[in-house]
Amino acid sequence: NRKYSPVGDKNVWVEFTALARDFKAVNLGQGFPDYDSVKYLNEKTLECAKESSNLLHQYTRSPGHLRLANAIANCYGKLTGRDINPLNEVLVTVGAYGSLFNSLTSFISEGDEVIIIEPFYDCYAPISVIAGAKCVFVPLKPKTDREMTTSADWSWDTKELEAAFSPKTKLIVINTPNNPLGKVYTREELQQIADLCIKHNTLCVSDEVYEHITYDRAHIRMATLPGMWERTITVGSAGKAFSSTGAKLGWTIGPKELIRLCQSVHNNSIYCCPTFIQEVIARCFELELSRLDTDECYFKSIAAELKPKRDRLAKLLIDAGLKPVIPEGGYFMLADISKIAPNFHSDENECKDSKFVKYLIKEKDENTLEKAAEILKNLHVD
Ligand code: PMP
Ligand code: GLN
């Protein structure tokens, strides 16, 4: 928990984005799509600019611009098979970050415990610590040492998961599909967590920003498991759903009693998200909603588009002597570096993966530059 203290200025994105910029390295760590956002995003933006009355340049409804709240409720209503009330079961936030921040800070009280499954998206721990919680970590571990492993080979030890729950547990944070492992939780795994949440009367914050990016296994929504809607907060992101990280819009979906709490933090910190971009994203949702069951739907085509890139990158890593874990979802890939970098070790200040990536960024020579150029050519990255 000391390591995740919010005090101090260490932030992996700030640090590595600056390093990549300074040393002109390709940054595959930040989820910054190099391909275009969903094709019609510019069209919808122009449409709004042309049609808009001045109202799109003024504050909108605090918990979410009505057209967007309606579109989210309609879309997730279809995806979850339950009626979602746009007025009190949806909260539009500043990215998934906003959703994570206002839900964790509204539920956690000083002295609570928060269970986090490792490896995890880095902000869960510092936000929980800001809110006064102690983090209890449960690692996903590889269950095989085969040459080719996939994220499905990783799971937790059931006893460790059970032991993490205590009378102080307020909530568990899960992330499926997972960043960075790419694991897509199975129904059995979700059920195990659901059973424990119900048994210990805890909440579940389910970060599902990569919900539409799955390759080998369908995404299952925690909130759809029996008895879980009442205790689950689902987090989504326009950055991922429409490949538009700059839109910086996210949403929280859940029962009105929980949304009301998140909203009180939102009201007093953000008040409302930018109106114009909410209108644009509302129109994007409406379009996808009209073709949700077809292959043209972006929520389906994005994974089809990314899958061959995943396979190509895995091959390139193998050719470079690394051992990738093939992700079932999301757009990140972990790789075992021990064969090519056996001399990197973690110490109390820094983990070996961080040291190794810094080494790659700073010490790259002509050969690695050439190799990077070759990789880029194959990946069609600018
Ligand atoms: N959760 C996960 C798992 C993510 O990968 C990201 C983006 N990297 C976020 C939350 C934050 O998303 P946003 O950009 O919408 O704030
Ligand atoms: N890796 C994060 C993502 O998936 C990066 C987030 C950030 O830049 N803070 O987009």
Task: Among the bound ligands, name the one nearest to the CA of residue 28.
Answer: 2
Gap between the Cα atoms of 231 and 204, Å rounded: 6
- 298-316 burial by CB neighbour count: b if 16+ within 10 A, else e? bbbebbeebeebbeebbeb
User: What tens digit of pLDDT does each residue of 256-311 get?
Assistant: 999 999 999 999 999 999 999 999 999 999 999 999 999 999 999 999 999 999 99
d(CA 30, CA 381): 14
What is the model's pLDDT at position 126?
Answer: 95
The set of protein residues with a Cβ atom below 6 angstroms from ligand 2 is: 13, 30-31, 179
CA pair distance 237, 226, nearest whole angstrom: 25
Average the pLDDT over 54-72 and give the result.
Answer: 95
Q: pLDDT band for position 382 (50/70/90)?
A: very low
pLDDT in tens, 213-266: 999 899 999 999 999 999 999 999 999 999 999 999 999 999 999 999 999 999
Mean pLDDT of 362-373: 64
CA 29 to ligand 2: nearest atom: 1
- 12-37+297-379 maps to CATH 3.90.1150.10: yes
Q: How far apart are CA 167 and CA 116, in angstroms?
A: 16
Which residue's C-alpha comes closest to atom 4 of ligand 2? 31
C-alpha of residue 122 to centroid of ligand 1, in Å: 10
| Angstrom distance (rounded) from CA 50 to CA 46 | 6
Q: In the chain, what percentage of residues exceed pLDDT 90?
A: 74
Q: What is the pLDDT of residue 107?
A: 98
Element (DSSP H or E) covering residue 312: helix 298-319
Q: Counting Cβ atoms within 10 Å, is residue 205 exposed (0-12), middle (13-18) or buried (19+)?
A: buried
Q: Which of 11, 12, 13 to mutate to test the pocket of ligand 2 (most atoms within 8 A of CB)?
A: 13
Tell me the pairing of strands 154-155 and 149-150: unpaired
Q: At residue 7, does pLDDT exceed 70?
A: no
Mean pLDDT of 140-160: 92
For the whole model, what pTM was predicted? 0.92
Whether pLDDT at 381 is above 50: no
d(CA 10, CA 132): 19
**Ligand 2 atom at minimum distance from 209 CA:** 4
Q: What is the pLDDT of residues 74-95, one digit of tens each?
A: 999 999 999 999 999 999 999 9
Strand pairing category for 334-336 and 232-237: unpaired
CATH fold match for the domains 12-37+297-379 and 41-289: no
* Per-domain boundaries in the chain: 12-37+297-379, 41-289
CATH 3.40.640.10 fits 41-289, yes or no: yes
